[in-house]
Amino acid sequence: MKKLLVSGVAALAVFAGSAMANDSVLSMSKNPNGMVLQTGDYANTRFSKLNQINRHNVKNLQVAWTFSTGVLRGHEGAPLVVGDTMYVHTPFPNIVYALDLANDGAIKWKYEPKQDPDVIPVMCCDTVNRGLAFANGKVFLHQADTTVVALNANSGEVEWSVVNGDPSIGETNTATVLPVNDKVIVGISGGEFGIQGHVTAYNIETGEKVWRGYSQGPDDMLLFDENTTELGKPVGKDSSLNTWEGDQWKIGGGATWGWYSYDPDLNLVYYGSGNPSTWNPAQRPGDNKWSMTIFARDADTGVAKWVYQMTPHDEWDYDGINEMILTDQEIDGKMRKLLTHFDRNGLGYTLDRETGELLVAEKYDPVVNWTSGVDMDPESETYGRPAVVAEYSTEQNGEDVNSVGICPAALGSKDQQPAAYSPRTQLFYVPTNHVCMDYEPFRVSYTAGQPYVGATLAMYPAPNSHGGMGNFIAWDNIKGEIVWSLPEKFSVWSGALATAGDVVFYGTLEGFLKAVDAKTGQELYKFKTPSGIIGNVMTYSHSGKQYVAILSGVGGWAGIGLAAGLVNPNDGLGAVGGYAALSNYTALGGQLTVFALPN
């Protein structure tokens, strides 16, 4: 790691107004009383300026009200609040409710799409959806069947809809969307079905497609130009094609089902691409660019300014789709625009988001063993590349060799469950998985719309540790160090929330909402909700009172056994066996629980 000195107070990257940005999102995301994006703000900080609930009084929280969603699968994401209205979403069939906060949460309108249930078995890891976005008087939903819908925020009527993918070839959606400028940015799921990943921009008023950038393929599809770089080196013409064998790139994965961030000053959208297909690395020799890559794309044209591939020739399913958190921080006496990313591969990255320069790449779970570290020498031929430990490679002189004791497991040291950042402490709060695996590849043939995995997995808690499967940590992104760590029985599959009250909230797979001190990690409050929590904590204020809200409903990859009724330990890509004990602590549910301090 580079030696970097940090001083002063980090500036929260909720950017000042830019003529390029969507004015409604910029102005409304600055108002802490509501929430218009799943990420809280364009910078993906998940920090709230509300401080009525603080580290001194959070112990007094009580349930204020609840709402049943009527759906019994994994509930990811969070509700939105705009004025007197709360917008709540569900997993498949992706119902949207508008609740009247000024009238005891009465349902103002309900949107229930009629989707073909055949999309359910094509969804990799439960029927989750990571939520809605609000802009220009519209609520945006990206449905499981890839239909993008713009709903009138007042009436729920469909203003436009467009089909973004094809479920018959394995393209589905689990992600939210990001309104930017006059566009809505959306991704695609389906890496386990051999899709060709892409990101697409649609006109925010009409739904017309403006541009599409693929994760791999000819450069006219990738929208790269001669100025695009990787760690300061030109990317070059057809840069991805020579890293795949033959036409494997056409079914090469690189799905884009994670989170999106945006810097209005640079007009760049940041996101990550997922695993290459198949999971059998012997069937796809080469670096498999640009899977496992951080992209910085121009919001208006889709042209990539820079890219960084974190895990070339991924052998472990370490999807690179986790959130990119944008902060402005002082390093060596100079303010820099930073991007911090906690990858599934177990490494916490800090980059200059303007240039793509790699500043930090360190393990945020000490048990990570597949790599000995990243080459940080800019003069080296392998600059920015992780060194693979041969013992934990899954490509062991051919196929059908079971590699054991690999840490982390395929679901990563952190999956999509998003971290939060507090400018008050300059720390990142990261929900993590403390899980290892055995991994046995086998040869698989591609058939459109059928699983294209090619590996059998077994998952289990990291050995010689606290015996649990998760930690909630505070991370210093400049030093690349854990500041404090709280062990958990199961993976922390809930997104975090940091507040100006110096409280950090997160949920657990058993169903607890927890509040901890942002500086010390001391537990200040916990309450068990009706089902396991894989949703993201949010906060809002209404009529002068601050509330904290969380969706509970166990599921997602970690809870797929419960959500889908699976019992074979190898099902759910190995998660069913790894999380079998979860059924002793929680059951299916679908509920919103809202908390407040007593009057």
- 451 CB burial (10 A radius; 0-12, 13-18, 19+): middle
In the 8-state DSSP scheme, what is residue 308? E
Give the separation between CA 453 and CA 457, rounded to whole angstroms. 11
Q: CB–CB of 384/232 below 8 Å?
A: no
Comparing C-alpha atoms, which of 36, 12, 297 is closest to residue 176?
A: 36
Amino acid at 457: L
Amino acid at 120: I
Give the separation between CA 21 and CA 41, rounded to whole angstroms. 12
Give the separation between CA 408 and CA 298, rounded to whole angstroms. 33
Told to judge if 317 belongs to the known catalytic residues of this protein, a careful annotator would answer: yes
- DSSP string computed for 497-560: EEETTSEEEEE-TTSEEEEEETTT--EEEEEE-SS---SB-EEEEETTEEEEEEEE---TTTTH
Give the separation between CA 83 and CA 117, rounded to whole angstroms. 34
Give the separation between CA 28 and CA 484, rounded to whole angstroms. 33
Alpha-carbon torsion angle 46, 49, 53, 57, nearest 10: 100
Q: Parallel, antiparallel, or unpaired for β 229-230 and 233-234?
A: antiparallel
Which helix (H) or strand (E) element contains residue 472? strand 470-476
Comparing C-alpha atoms, which of 561, 325, 335 is closest to residue 427?
A: 325
- The dihedrals phi and psi of 48, each to the nearest 5 degrees, come to -115, 140
Q: CB–CB of 228/163 below 8 Å?
A: no
Which helix (H) or strand (E) element contains residue 106? strand 106-111
Q: CB–CB of 220/238 below 8 Å?
A: no
- The dihedrals phi and psi of 403, each to the nearest 5 degrees, come to -85, 130
Task: Choose, from 263, 287, 317, 328, the residue flagged as catalytic.
Answer: 317
Give the separation between CA 312 and CA 207, rounded to whole angstroms. 35
Give the separation between CA 249 and CA 446, rounded to whole angstroms. 12
Cβ neighbours for 217, distance < 8 A, ≥ 6 positions apart: 196, 240, 241, 249, 250
Give the separation between CA 421 and CA 44, rounded to whole angstroms. 9
CA gyration radius, the chain: 22
Q: Which residue matches tokens 């020799």?
A: 285
Q: CB–CB of 89/95 below 8 Å?
A: yes
Active-site residues, by number, are: 317
